[in-house]
Amino acid sequence: MRDFYPEDMVSRNVLFDAWKNASRAFGFAEYDACVVETFELLKRKAGEEIVEQIYDFRDKKGRRLALRPEMTPTLARMVASRFSSLKFPLKWFTIAQCFRYERMSRGRKREHYQWNLDIVGEDSVAAEAEVIATAVNALGILGLGGDDFSIRFSSRRILGELLCKQGIPDKYHAATFLALDKKGKISDGDIEAMLADAGLGKKEIERVFTVLEISALGEVERILEKKSPSLGEIRRFMELADRQGIGQILEFDISVVRGLTYYTGIVFEAFDTERRFRAILGGGRYDNLLKDIGGRSLTGVGLGFGDVVIDEILAKKSNHSGKRKSSGIIYVGFMEEAQRLAAVSLATEMRKHGHRVDLALRAEKAKSFFARASRESGSEAVYLGPDDIAAGEARVKNLADRTERKVTL
């Protein structure tokens, strides 16, 4: 798990600000919750990796608690408990620290921050288009555009219809989705073993693999009837996405399934164009989760966007603006103990006027003061000596462009 030193917080805040600004620009309201949940809320039927990765423990009363591995069950719990007073559809966002006992790899840590965007109570694909457009907006704020990433999407409903066409009954679909999510991550042989464990015969397993050979939406259109409701949804989704200006970033890919069981409809994930990293973000529609958790039927659409992969991508692109951003801080220093009180007054006055001020804690030589102040780019510095006190004024130096302005003491 990570420690964040002040220099790490600079880039972390740039990312969090981008997430928050995009959320607000698209009308999402912020929420938060405790990182500890009951294990009961987080556990689901076996088979999902995320449930195996939960950090759980017992408190002094023997209750089984856990650090959340994701935010979605918590969101569902919160919505369910205020169901009658909340107005739907609701659009909520949060930046949640999540914990997963994962095998550590590039882009995967045991703890990460995850921006969550969710729309609850909207049946139409307008919700999918809206959450994706918000995430694309945040990526734009971070300096990433269509050349840097793409968003691949599919639909579990379409995949379900295609599996039915291949004679694979509904009862096998959930396990098949989880196995297919492993495509490219584990060997095809291991996927076959997972499917066999789920109860599929040899012939059925072969047919599952033929579905994955579909490479374009046109092929799906040829296989499924024109009136297929899930195909209609996809067309509507693409139309809306086009209008949101994100159509060219979207790519249909039948192999996108996602590894969480609660997704029911459109699912999506974003990758860097060169596919050097793991998914930047992932999400989809979950139409049964609220019913499973809170007993009330409500549809949901959302995504999770972690801080780890995006950091690597931004570092690679080396435009992490946070590192270069000017700090706008004013350093106030003094030469001798005799100028301390004047320095304190000056700093206090500047702070009252809304400036960010770093006041020296001890007298220091001009050379070391200016060296300290110059470490942060875009800062200003005032250094008080006996002459300044005598004149009743001092100079505030802009360390970037070497300009000066006078202040009365």
Residue ranges binding ligand HAM (CB under 6 A): 70, 72, 100, 102, 108-109, 112, 114, 116, 118, 260, 279-283, 302-306, 308-309
The residue (of 214 and 281) whose beta carbon lies closer to ligand HAM is 281
CB of 376 to ligand HAM, least distance (A): 29
CB of 72 to ligand HAM, least distance (A): 4
CB of 195 to ligand HAM, least distance (A): 22
CB of 214 to ligand HAM, least distance (A): 23
The residue (of 268 and 383) whose beta carbon lies closer to ligand HAM is 268
Reference 257, options 151, 154, 128, 150; nearest CA is 154
**Partners of 226 in the beta sheet?**
none
**57 phi, psi to nearest 5 deg:** -160, 170
CB of 99 to ligand HAM, least distance (A): 8
The residue (of 127 and 162) whose beta carbon lies closer to ligand HAM is 127
Please, are residues 211 and 254 in contact by the beta-carbon 8 Å criterion?
yes
The residue (of 152 and 397) whose beta carbon lies closer to ligand HAM is 152
The residue (of 250 and 260) whose beta carbon lies closer to ligand HAM is 260
The residue (of 142 and 343) whose beta carbon lies closer to ligand HAM is 142
CA distance 45 to 38: 16
Nearest-Å Rg of the Cα atoms of the chain is 27
CB of 112 to ligand HAM, least distance (A): 4
Q: And the tokens for 73?
A: 């069950």
CB of 73 to ligand HAM, least distance (A): 8
CB of 78 to ligand HAM, least distance (A): 13
Taking CB atoms within 8 Å and a gap of at least 24, the contacts of 238-244 are 240/125, 240/126, 240/129, 241/129, 241/132, 241/133, 244/129, 244/130, 244/132, 244/133
Amino acid present at 28: F
The residue (of 39 and 370) whose beta carbon lies closer to ligand HAM is 39
CA distance 171 to 212: 19
The residue (of 102 and 219) whose beta carbon lies closer to ligand HAM is 102
**310 phi, psi to nearest 5 deg:** -60, -35
DSSP class per residue in 255-290: T---S-TT--SEEEEEEETT--SS-SEEEEEESSHH
Q: How far is CA 69 from CA 15, 113, 376, in A?
A: 21, 10, 36
